[in-house]
Each structure stands twice: as C-alpha cells, then as structure tokens.
C-alpha cells in the first residue's frame, strides 16, 4: 500500500462512506493529513488509527461532540497499544453492564410468567440497572488519564526498581497473616509483586468503586494467589474488630472525606501488634509541572490535583497516623523523573483534574509542544521531583 491515500481509497479500505469522511473533516474530528496541489484530501496510515478510535467511541455510546472533546488533545495517536487497551477496558465494562441489564429483564420476565402479576419495584430495578455505570465518557477519560499518569513514571523514572516493587519489599508482614488493602484500584500493586506474595497470606482487596474491583479481578484472575474482593467504604469497614494483621492504604488517605474516621476504622480492624502501611506524596512531588505551566504563561490554568493530597502528605501525615498507632515511622522512596520526550509530559499535564483542556486550543497546544521540546533540547531532559513514601505504624 502507498504511504498516502485518496479519500476514495481511504473510504474503501476503512469501510466508511465518503460523506462520513467529509463530515468528520468538517467538524474537525478526522482531518486529512495533507492535500494534493488541486486540493483533494489525502490520508495516512496514522489516520486509520484515529478513525478506529472515533468509531469505537461512537459504538460504545459517545456522541460525536463527546468524542471530539475526548480526542481533541489526544496527541499520542502513535501509541496504539495504550489506545487499544483503554478501548478494550471500556468495551468490557459496557459488556458487563449489558449482562446486568439482560439479567434484570430476564428476572422480571420470569416473575411475570410465574405470578402473572407485575411487581413494579422489580420492574423499576431495570431502570436502576440501565442508569448504573453508564457514563462511558467519564470512564474513558478516567482510564486514559490513569494510563497517562502511570506511563510517565514507567518511561522516565531514575529509580528503575519501581515504586510498587519497592513498597512491597518494605512490608514487614508475617508469613501467616490476614492482609487488607483499602483502595486497591485495578490491582496493579499485587500484579507487579505476584511472585513475591507468601503462600500464607489471606488477602482481601477493597475499593469504593465497583468498576475498579472488576478491573482488579480481571488483572489478578488465574493467578496462583487467592484474593477476596469487596466493595467497601473506608469510613465504614464491614469487618469485625481485630480481623487483620496488616492494613495497606496505597495513596488513599488523601482522598477520603474524614481521615480520622478512616484511621479509626483501620485501628479497629487491625489486630494488636498489627501494622498500618499508608503511602502518600510530599508537597514537592511533581512541583516542576507547576513551574512549566507558569513559565509558559498559562496562569489561567487550574490544576486541582496539586491540592488534592494536602490533607494527608509526607509533611503532615505523621501526626494523623500517630493519633491511633504507635512507633510511627516515615520511610521515603528515592526517585525522580528525567523526561526526554514532550508528548508523555503533555499527556500527564492534560490528565490532571482542572481546566487544562478548556483553556488550551490547538494553537496553544502546538506552542506548548515547541516550548517543551526546546527545553529538552537545551537541558537533555526536564528534571521533575518525585517525593513519595509511606507511614508505618503498630497497634
């Protein structure tokens, strides 16, 4: 196949109409990479990836306007693996949701066939299921943002051992123990350390998000270690007093509403002599990100994530944990970033909560790319501070 395709060739290979391609060009969803001297549209192989993403997002229920907002600043089109993994996750979530809807309808049909009388409460349950976990745009963006934040650490961390592997090695938990994790996310912490988990551990993974628990189950399925999964509100842990030998909170406490209440619950379910391990970041974590935005003269931008951890950081966490646990220690992880590519850095900036995407237009984005590439050229790599660690305490 040639490097560039006419609109007719592109439409035929992709199985879409010329009218669709012209309309996507008109609304800025899929613009051709070039034009002939006479003004005819030309498409590249890269454009097939963008079209595939548009059609997938359209299939899972996003409007063209929502798709445009999602991929407006998606500058990593070349990262096919990342894009496809995110799309697969959202499709899996939608399939799970469709299964729940089908089950609710089947249960209602069975009830009608059996009793000949419609139980309206059961019928309304179908509506409740339809409304559950159906925010596909939010889920796509959350998955994409999480991938962007993880990716920059994987690519450019100076400590090649990795945070999760290092953190696991610091756990001083006896061979026969019951372990609880609050806020397990997608289970990556355990997946990264699956071969190091002692056979005698009984591990319960919890999260407030049912979607995250599904991801964790999928990540850890068919592994030699058996995990228990449960949806849990950290402020009301549904286990008896002194149930666990260790409770792990990996970057969780800064996001809860009432830290004292959560720590009180952790204390209650921890056995005497058991441990808490609570990780977080310091005030200087990723501080150069803020400097980049200020240096670029973008003072209208708000990046809410800088303040999200303020309630529980390395600087103030000791006092909070020490209220409930004794012999509290702070252990810091030594690492930084040296970023040698502009695009993963921009992905990270655009992934944080705030109004970045609203403030930036295409022209301003290109200027930011040029600015970062020039900085990398001058310095050999943009240095970014990482300040991460954990508090360990004993009951």
**Cβ(285)–Cβ(385) under 8 Å?**
yes
Domain ranges of the chain: 4-71, 80-134, 155-394
**Separation between Cα atoms, residue 40 and residue 42, nearest integer Å:** 7
Percent share of the chain, pLDDT over 70: 83
Separation between Cα atoms, residue 251 and residue 182, nearest integer Å = 10
DSSP state string for 292-304 = HHHHTT-TT--BT
The dihedral region occupied by 381, where left means phi > 0, alpha psi between -120 and 50, and beta the remainder, is: left
CATH superfamily, with its number, for domain 155-394 = Vaccinia Virus protein VP39 (3.40.50.150)
Closest alpha carbon to 312 in 122, 125, 182: 182
Q: How far is CA 6 from CA 11, 13, 23, 168, in A?
A: 8, 11, 16, 54
Three-state SS annotation for 205-268: EEECCHHHHHHHHHHHCCCCCCEEEEECCCCCCCCCCCCEEEEEEECCHHHCCCHHHHHHHHHH
d(CA 201, CA 323): 28
H-type alpha helices, 116-225: 120-131, 136-156, 163-170, 188-192, 210-220
pTM: 0.73
C-alpha to C-alpha distance for 224 and 161, rounded to whole angstroms: 24
Closest CA to 191 of 222, 170, 230, 161: 222
CB count within 10 Å of CB 72 equals 16
Q: What's the pLDDT tens digit per position in 196-218?
A: 999 999 999 999 887 788 888 98
CATH class entry, domain 4-71: mainly alpha
In order along its 395 residues, the chain shows pLDDT tens digits of 458 999 999 999 999 999 999 999 998 889 898 999 999 999 998 888 889 888 888 887 778 887 887 776 565 555 667 677 777 777 777 787 788 788 878 877 887 777 766 667 666 767 766 666 555 566 666 666 767 777 888 899 999 889 999 999 999 999 999 999 999 988 989 999 999 999 999 999 999 887 788 888 988 988 888 899 999 999 999 999 999 999 999 999 998 999 999 999 999 999 999 999 999 999 999 888 877 777 765 555 555 555 667 889 999 999 999 999 999 999 999 999 999 998 888 888 777 766 566 666 667 777 888 889 999 999 999 999 999 999 999 99
């Amino acid at each position: 196949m040639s490097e560039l395709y006419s609109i007719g060739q592109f439409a035929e290979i992709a199985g879409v109409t010329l009218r669709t391609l012209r309309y996507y060009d008109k609304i800025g969803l899929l613009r051709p990479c070039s034009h002939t001297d006479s003004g005819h549209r030309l498409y590249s192989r890269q454009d097939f990836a963008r079209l595939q993403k548009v059609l997938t997002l359209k299939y899972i229920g996003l409007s063209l306007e929502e798709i445009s907002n999602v991929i407006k600043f998606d500058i990593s089109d070349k990262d096919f693996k990342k894009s496809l993994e995110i799309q697969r996750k959202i499709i899996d979530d939608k399939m799970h949701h469709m299964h729940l809807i089908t089950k609710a309808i089947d249960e209602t049909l069975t009830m009608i066939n059996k009793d000949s009388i419609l139980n309206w409460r059961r019928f309304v349950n179908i509506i409740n299921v339809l409304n559950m976990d159906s925010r596909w745009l939010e889920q796509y963006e959350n998955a994409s943002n999480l991938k962007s934040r993880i990716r920059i650490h994987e690519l450019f961390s100076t400590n090649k051992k990795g945070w999760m592997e290092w953190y696991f090695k610091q756990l001083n938990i006896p061979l026969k123990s019951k372990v609880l994790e609050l806020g397990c996310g997608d289970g990556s912490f355990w997946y990264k350390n699956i071969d190091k988990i002692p056979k005698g551990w009984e591990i319960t993974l919890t999260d407030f998000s049912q979607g995250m628990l599904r991801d964790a189950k999928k990540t850890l399925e068919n592994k030699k270690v058996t995990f228990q999964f449960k949806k849990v509100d950290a402020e009301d842990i549904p286990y008896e007093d002194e149930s666990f030998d260790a409770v792990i909170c990996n970057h969780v406490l800064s996001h809860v509403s009432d830290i004292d209440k959560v720590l009180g619950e952790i204390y209650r379910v921890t056995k005497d002599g058991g441990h808490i391990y609570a990780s977080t970041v310091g005030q200087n974590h990723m501080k150069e990100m803020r400097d980049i935005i200020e240096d670029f003269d973008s003072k209208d931008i708000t990046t809410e994530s800088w303040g999200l951890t303020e309630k529980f950081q390395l600087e103030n966490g000791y006092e909070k944990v020490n209220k409930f646990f004794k012999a509290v220690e702070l252990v810091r992880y030594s690492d930084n970033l040296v970023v040698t590519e502009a695009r993963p850095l921009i992905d990270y900036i655009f992934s944080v909560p705030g109004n970045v995407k609203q403030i930036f237009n295409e022209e301003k984005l290109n200027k930011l790319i040029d600015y970062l590439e020039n900085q990398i050229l001058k310095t050999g790599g943009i240095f970014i501070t990482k300040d991460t660690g954990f508090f360990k305490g004993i009951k």
